[in-house]
Structure formats: structure tokens, C-alpha cells
Amino acid sequence: MNEPRQRILVALLAVMLLYFGGEWLWRKAVEGPLEARQAKAERLEKELAKRDKELAAIRKAAADIDRWKEESLPSDPQVARSLYRAWLLELVGKVGFANRNVEAGEPVDRRGLYQSITFSVQGRANLEQLTRFLYQFYRAGHLHQIRSLSITPMASSGALDLSLVVEALVLPRKEPKERLSNSTSDRLAFEKFDDYAVIPRRNLFGFSGTFDPIDQAFLTGIQHINGRPEAWFTIRTEDKVVKLKPGESLQVGQFSGKVVEVEGDDVVLESEGQRWLLSLGESLAQAFALPPEH
């Protein structure tokens, strides 16, 4: 009786050993290597993605360097200094700066990698002339930047006393460069100056007098005539009151727009696709730009 039972127990033990041993062998011989290879493949994919990203950054940097070399001032620092100063003088004269002056510093070596030249610009201009200067400056394909800009409003004349510090760079090249770049930069968000014309219309410095009529045009009343709202604008330069309903146009100096909404003490104006919020007692120059409607 004991011998058959022992045989059965031995057989069951053998089956258990075979089962658990087979599972162990499967894990060690099959699943383990598969998991290791999968982990290695994922690691390699991450490394490849990282290297692709690094290569893309290197290619972009190389393209940037090539573009910067084209925008660089002429290879001879003294020639670069003279030509770029002449370019600045021509620009401030073209946009109408008064009392203009441009001074050039000496070239400074930057650890043998490139040379920088600092220029100082002084002059007097109105806001439109300053806007035109900045537009032409950043549109030019030169390797330059404005390091500082000081603006002092002159209430007596409505002009701006300006002082700028400009830095331009000379990059080394295999072939010497003798002239300034005549290319156009893509630094600006908009291509045409007309897209920036709204800046001088805002009269950011709050001048009075004859500098810009919009700072003398005030929203002085909001009335309801026969149930319809009406915005009253006092134009001090013309000594008159203009009464407008929603949809009617307003022309003051260089500002041209229409009333689109009258609500409480506020009026919403629209000019050249831009919406402006004006509150009772404020001048057109104090209007607040509203975000675009969606």
C-alpha cells in the first residue's frame, strides 16, 4: 500500500518540479531576454530622438551663423564703423529727426569671436518719426540692435528728445566683406509700416496743444435720445460737440473710426479693424485697446 502511494507522491512532485522549473526556464530563457531587448530598444529610441533633436539644433545654429555672417558689418572694423555711421545718419535724416547727431565708438574685440561697435544717436522727433525710425531700423538686414532708448517729452513743442545706444557686430568671414548688407530682415511681426501707424495716433505721452488733435477730443456725455444711446464728443481744437449714435463715424485729426457700442459710461470705437474702449471724461488719446473678438 505504501509503495503505490510513494510512487504517486513522487509523480506529483515531478510534475510540480516540471511545472515550476519550466516556468522558471521560460522566464529566464524567453521572457527575461525579451524584456531586456524591449528596454534596450526603448532606450535606443530615446537616445536617437535626443540626437535628432540635437542635430536639428546644430543645423539651425549653423543656418543662423550663415545668416548672421551675411548681416555682419564689413570685415574691416574701421570701414564698418564709417559705413554704418553714415547709414544711421542717412536714416535719421530720412525720417525727419531734428538736431540729429550720430557718434561712433571704437571697435571692441569680444574674445576673438567677433567685434562690436557702439553708436550713440541723439535727436528730436515726434512719435510718428520715431516709429518710422524703429520700423526702418529693424527692417534693415544688419547685425545690430538698440541697447537703450531714452525718450524725454518736451511739452512746450510736443516733440520727443531722443537718445539711443546702438550696437552693431563684425563677424569673421573666410572671404572679406566690404559693404553693408542690403537685405531685408524678418524681425518685424508685420511687413508694412501702415500696420504700425496706430502707434503715433495713440499719443502715448499725452501732449497737449497742437501736437495731435486726438488728445483734445473728449467723451463728455452719453445721452439717450428716443431710447437710442448717443455719445457726445467735445473737440476742443475746433470748439464743437459731435453727437454720434452707434454706427456713425468720427474723424479727428488722423483718427478715423466709428462708434460701435455705447454702454453705461463707456463707448467702444472701431478704427482700422482695432476696437478701442473709451470711458466718460477721457480723450481719444486715452482709449484702451480691446482684444480681438472671436
In the chain, what are the domain boundaries? 1-71, 77-196, 213-289
The pLDDT tens digits of the residues spanning 183-228 come to 888 878 888 888 887 777 665 665 544 456 787 889 999 998 888 9
Helices (H), 2-31: 2-26
Q: What is the pLDDT of residue 112?
A: 82
Backbone CA torsion sign across 193, 194, 195, 198: positive
**Phi, psi at residue 260, to the nearest 5°?**
-110, -20
Name every residue whose Cβ is closer than 8 Å to that of residue 279 and which is 6 or more positions away in sequence: 219, 265, 266, 267
Backbone CA torsion sign across 29, 30, 35, 38: positive
- Measured CA distances, 76 to 146, 178, 211, 264 (Å): 22, 7, 44, 65
Q: What is the pLDDT of residue 210?
A: 45
Quick check: 152 and 161 in contact, CB under 8 A? Answer: yes
Give dist(CA 156, CA 87) in Å, integer: 31
Pick the CATH number of 77-196 from 3.30.70.60, 3.40.50.11890, 3.40.50.720, 1.10.10.10: 3.30.70.60
What SS3 class is residue 32?
helix
What SS3 class is residue 49?
helix
Q: pLDDT in tens for each of the 294 residues of the chain?
A: 456 666 666 566 565 655 555 565 556 665 666 666 777 767 777 777 777 676 565 555 555 667 778 889 898 999 999 999 999 999 999 999 999 999 999 999 988 888 999 999 999 998 889 999 999 999 999 999 999 999 888 765 668 899 999 999 998 877 778 899 888 888 788 888 888 877 776 656 655 444 567 878 899 999 988 889 999 999 887 788 999 999 999 998 888 999 999 988 899 999 988 889 999 888 888 888 888 764
Neighbours of 156 (CB within 10 A): 8
Give dist(CA 176, CA 75) in Å, integer: 6
Backbone CA torsion sign across 136, 139, 145, 147: positive
Give dist(CA 199, CA 248) in Å, integer: 24
Q: What is the pLDDT of residue 36?
A: 66
Cell of 209: 496743444
Give dist(CA 100, CA 152) in Å, integer: 15
**Span between the terminal Cα atoms of the chain, in Å:** 92
Identify which of 217, 200, 199, 196 has the alpha carbon closest to the alpha carbon of residue 208.
Answer: 217
Q: Which CATH class is domain 213-289?
A: mainly beta
Max CA pair span of the chain: 129
Q: What is the pLDDT of residue 64?
A: 61
Whether the model pTM is above 0.85: no
Cell of 8: 504517486
